[in-house]
């Protein structure tokens, strides 16, 4: 699926931009849906996507700055990135009602302690009178690593269970296809 996505969507876009006199340099994010017919493009962004970037950063062992500098200066062929073999998975916690209307300012009473390979990224939070509150639709990105997708998934959902936020919810199917493939 990756090679098909690259050859049918990404490479023609990059090539077309260059042929039009607008060669692209930077972070190029494609929002995709995998359908029965194959990959379908939803959107392009010229920035990192939050959960997508967070799983990458959890696995990146190299310093990010030289990689970004090389991308900006056209010298990526001169640097290399070192990656952890671990798997990373992110579960997005959102405000009840999201993506529709949702309450703002709901209290997040407790965040669990994280261990190595676990992080809770704040997306839509603020401190109000010294207390943590939700200010957006997508609020917390709970990310964990593991030796397998199943292990990373278990760690991430364990953290989710210990977030003290009555107004929060998350999807419970993150990574299920990859876990099923691992179990075959």
Q: 91 and 168, same structural domain?
A: yes
Is the per-residue pLDDT at 132 higher than 90?
Answer: yes
- Per-residue DSSP letters for 157-168? HHHHHT-B-TTE
C-alpha span between 138 and 93 (Å, rounded): 6
In a domain, 7, yes or no: yes
In a domain, 69, yes or no: no
In a domain, 66, yes or no: no
Q: 105 and 30, same structural domain?
A: no
Q: 159 and 97, same structural domain?
A: yes
Is the per-residue pLDDT at 28 higher than 90?
Answer: no
CA atoms within 13 A on the CB side of 46: 8
Mean of pLDDT over the chain:
95
CA atoms within 13 A on the CB side of 170: 23
In a domain, 181, yes or no: no
The two structure tokens encoding residue 106: 């709901």
pLDDT digits (tens, 9 = 90+) for 153-167: 999 999 999 999 999
Task: Tell me how many domains the chain contains.
Answer: 2
Q: Tell me what pLDDT residue 84 has.
A: 98
Is the per-residue pLDDT at 25 higher than 90?
Answer: no
* Parallel/antiparallel/unpaired status of strands 29-35 and 131-134: unpaired
In a domain, 55, yes or no: no
In a domain, 184, yes or no: no
Q: 99 and 34, same structural domain?
A: no
C-alpha span between 58 and 53 (Å, rounded): 9
For 16-26, letters b (16+ CB in 10 Å) and e give: eeeeeeeeeee
In a domain, 134, yes or no: yes
pLDDT digits (tens, 9 = 90+) for 45-90: 999 888 999 999 999 999 999 999 999 998 999 999 999 999 999 9
List the domain range (segments joined by +) for residue 23: 1-47
In a domain, 77, yes or no: no
Q: Tell me what pLDDT residue 26 has.
A: 83
3-state DSSP assignment of residue 89: strand
Q: Tell me what pLDDT residue 27 has.
A: 86
Q: Tell me what pLDDT residue 67 has.
A: 95
Q: Assign residue 163 the CATH number of its domain.
A: 3.90.600.10
């Amino acid at each position: 699926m990756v090679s098909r996505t690259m050859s049918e969507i990404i490479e023609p876009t990059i090539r077309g931009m260059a042929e039009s006199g607008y060669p692209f340099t930077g972070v190029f994010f494609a929002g995709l849906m995998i359908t029965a017919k194959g990959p379908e493009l939803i959107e392009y962004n010229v920035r990192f996507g939050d959960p997508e970037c967070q799983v990458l950063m959890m696995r990146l062992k190299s310093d990010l700055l030289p990689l970004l500098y090389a991308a900006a200066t056209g010298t990526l062929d001169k640097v290399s990135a070192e990656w952890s073999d671990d798997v990373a998975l992110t579960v997005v916690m959102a405000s009840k009602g999201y993506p529709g209307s949702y309450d703002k300012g709901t209290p997040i009473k407790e965040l669990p302690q994280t261990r190595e390979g676990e992080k809770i990224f704040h997306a839509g939070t603020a401190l109000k009178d010294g207390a943590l509150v939700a200010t957006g639709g997508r609020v917390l990105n709970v990310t964990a690593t593991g030796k397998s997708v199943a292990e990373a998934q278990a760690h991430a959902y364990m953290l989710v269970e210990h977030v003290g936020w009555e107004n929060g919810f998350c999807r419970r199917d993150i990574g299920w296809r990859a876990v099923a493939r691992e179990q075959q």
